[in-house]
């Protein structure tokens, strides 16, 4: 989503209101995201402050994220701030993004903020039982007949050192 900012150049203090929606469809690198329930709604302003274009906006969306235990999709509402600074002349300040065109593509900034604001772990409920590590059955929906007394084979030689019948 490109926003034309040509009318802001050379007019300090001028502002453009933003009220738009952006569809985010790229979840590469974030396998827990199942999908977006709605476009990202953005409300705010682009303002020329001393020849620096400042994006200051609030954004919100709803994302379906896989439960960390059972992989069931869970809807999570995200609210976040967008605050970016742009300068056409280039700047040595690393917080100010250099731009070469009369428009700004908001998509990468919105996408980045979404992924920075995702919760570390999402659980569908506190009682979630998770998945069977052997067959993948969702324990919230039923049981399976797998042997869950799995012992890591790396510890077999250690177990051989101890005889179960002996007292220590």
Tens of pLDDT, residues 48-98: 888 888 899 999 999 999 999 999 999 999 999 999 988 877 666 777 777
Instruction: With residue 159 as reference, give the H or E element that holds it.
Output: helix 156-160
Check residue 28 and report its DSSP letter.
Answer: T
Considering the entire predicted model, what is its pTM?
Answer: 0.73
CA angle 77–112–24, rounded 5-degree value: 60
9-53: per-residue pLDDT in tens? 877 888 999 999 988 877 777 777 778 889 999 999 999 888 888
Q: How far apart are CA 115 and CA 111, in angstroms?
A: 6
């Amino acid at each position: 989503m490109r926003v034309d900012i040509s009318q802001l150049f050379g007019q300090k203090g001028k502002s453009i209101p933003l009220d738009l929606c952006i569809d985010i469809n790229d979840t590469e690198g974030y396998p827990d995201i199942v999908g977006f329930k709605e476009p990202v709604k953005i409300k705010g302003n682009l303002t020329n402050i001393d020849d620096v274009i400042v994006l200051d906006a609030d954004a919100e969306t709803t994302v379906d994220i896989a439960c960390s235990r059972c992989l069931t999709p869970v809807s999570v509402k995200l609210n976040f701030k967008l605050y970016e600074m742009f300068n056409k002349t280039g700047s040595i300040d690393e917080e100010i993004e250099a731009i070469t065109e009369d428009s700004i593509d908001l998509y990468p900034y919105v996408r980045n903020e979404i992924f920075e604001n995702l919760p570390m772990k999402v659980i569908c409920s506190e009682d979630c039982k998770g998945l069977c590590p052997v067959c993948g059955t969702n324990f919230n929906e039923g049981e399976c007949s797998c042997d869950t007394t799995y012992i890591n084979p790396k510890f077999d030689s250690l177990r051989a050192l101890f005889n179960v019948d002996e007292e220590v």
